[in-house]
């Protein structure tokens, strides 16, 4: 196990210097000050640029799945996102990175090109059989893992979470140019990977959506313990 995040990626000499870091509010590392500081100081170099997006919007779906009313879930997720956003800004000031940005989910997700991409993603995962199937497998996996009851409402929430995640990843890496995506992944190796399936089996779709001849996204995963 590498001792530092920089060592983790030292074999990837072509990974560039623009990073997309989605931060899920249900994880245990990047919602805390010290791991965020280490991430910035040891992995994201001072001359690099990074976009850190807090997934407080999708987190509201998680809270609804836990039984909160939609209005309460949205309010709690928004407050948690604001608190984390403030913490990230304080950490960025301390580490001195000039090209680091932090945002809550909605300001980025509501950008015009991101919304257009969201429509493309939803249509593809609804209408293309293999994409629909892996999305359904992902939702069933999440339901078993979290012990949700199999209802139409829970399916719709998981579907929204999935399609928003896929959209944000493509938008940040391929359109906004933060091509190196960094995951704090707690799903485990047996989890279906709709985004990976899309890139592997339908790259022509993604190229058409982002209007590029070649795709840029590279994925790095944070070790389970670091």
Residues 58, 26 contacting (CB under 8 angstroms): no
CA gap 160, 158 in Å, rounded:
5
Residues 157, 65 contacting (CB under 8 angstroms): yes
CA-angle at 139, arms to 151 and 84, nearest 5°: 100
Segment 154-204, tens digit of pLDDT = 889 999 999 999 999 999 999 999 999 988 765 555 789 999 999 999 999
pLDDT at residue 6 greater than cutoff 60 = no
Q: What is the pTM of this model?
A: 0.89
Segment 88-124, tens digit of pLDDT = 999 888 877 668 899 999 999 999 999 999 999 999 9
CA gap 36, 134 in Å, rounded:
32
The highest-confidence range among 15-24, 44-53, 54-63, by mean pLDDT, is 54-63
Q: Facing residues of 181 across strands?
A: 20, 219
CA gap 213, 86 in Å, rounded:
38
pLDDT of residue 189: 59
pLDDT of residue 56: 95
CA gap 156, 152 in Å, rounded:
6
CA gap 81, 85 in Å, rounded:
6
First vs last Cα of the chain: how many Å apart? Answer: 8
What is the average per-residue pLDDT within 210-226?
84
pLDDT of residue 100: 86
**Structural domains in the chain?**
5-221 (3.40.50.11710)
Going by the DSSP 8-state scheme, the letter that residue 191 receives in this structure is S
pLDDT of residue 2: 36
């Amino acid at each position: 196990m590498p001792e530092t995040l920089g060592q983790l990626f030292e074999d990837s000499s072509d990974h560039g210097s623009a990073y997309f870091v989605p931060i899920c509010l249900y994880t245990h590392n990047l919602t805390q000050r010290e791991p965020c500081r280490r991430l910035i100081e040891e992995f994201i170099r001072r001359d690099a640029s990074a976009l850190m997006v807090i997934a407080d919007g999708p987190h509201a779906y998680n809270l609804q799945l836990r039984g909160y009313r939609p209005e309460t879930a949205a309010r709690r997720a928004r407050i948690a996102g604001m608190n984390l956003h403030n913490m990230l800004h304080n950490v960025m000031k301390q580490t001195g990175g000039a090209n680091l940005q932090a945002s809550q989910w909605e300001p980025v997700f509501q950008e015009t090109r991101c919304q257009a991409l969201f429509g493309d993603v939803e249509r593809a995962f609804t209408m293309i059989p293999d994409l629909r199937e892996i999305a359904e497998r992902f939702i069933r996996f999440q339901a078993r893992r979290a012990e949700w009851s199999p209802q139409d409402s829970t399916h719709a929430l998981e579907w929204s979470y999935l399609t928003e995640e896929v959209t944000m990843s493509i938008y940040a890496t391929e359109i906004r140019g933060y091509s190196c995506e960094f995951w704090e992944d707690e799903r485990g190796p047996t989890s279906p990977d709709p985004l990976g399936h899309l890139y592997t089996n339908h790259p022509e779709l993604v190229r058409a959506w982002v209007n590029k001849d070649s795709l840029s996204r590279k994925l790095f995963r944070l070790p389970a313990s670091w």
